[in-house]
Amino acid sequence: MKGIIFTEFLEMVENKFGYEMVDTIIEESELPSNGIYTSIGTYHHSEVVRLLGNLSKRSGIDSQVLLKAFGEYLFNAFLKSYPQLFSAVDNPFDFLISIDSHIHGEVLKLYPDAILPKFDTRHLEDGSLEMTYRSERKMAVLAESLIEKSIAHYNTSHIIEKEIISNDGSIVKFTIKEP
């Protein structure tokens, strides 16, 4: 997993819970990296899972709620750092379709070793958009949060239905419909 995920996660923790919490969860997580991350580095995703688990334990907030909040935070960081990706289209469906076909391609140009989630997207006959998330990291809640923020960014309203395809959470289908 690219280091930007780790640096943004720890920045979110510091902003919401303070530096002491960052220090505490890093110490408690016993990380191979010792909690030292660069945005361009590559780290095993289990480290962010440990950090998230310890933040959940320390804060008393469910880890899935924290992961969703991180998705919202991460979207804003992406929007600030890569505004051209968002201004290239004018609606959420075109943006969401571009994730796998364009955005992840650009990421791989910068970070050829990045292992990214896969999104298979297709338009349905009723005008809805179906996105199937595939990742061995099983962070569909993060993906869902990023999808929700994408829709909100384009000032539209949609309903997101989620169907867990694989019991382990590695495959989840999102259907995005107009209300």
Tokens of 27: 């110490």
Domains parsed from the chain with CATH numbers: 3-72 (3.90.1520.10), 89-177 (3.90.1520.10)
pTM: 0.92
Residues 117-147: tens digit of each pLDDT: 999 999 999 999 999 999 999 999 999 999 9
Contact 175, 111 (CB under 8 A): no
Residues 3-33: tens digit of each pLDDT: 999 999 999 999 999 999 999 999 999 999 9
Average pLDDT, the chain: 94
Q: For 49-69, give one letter per residue: b (16+ CB within 10 A) or e.
A: bbbbebbbeebeeebeebbbe
Least confident of 45-54, 95-104, 145-154: 95-104
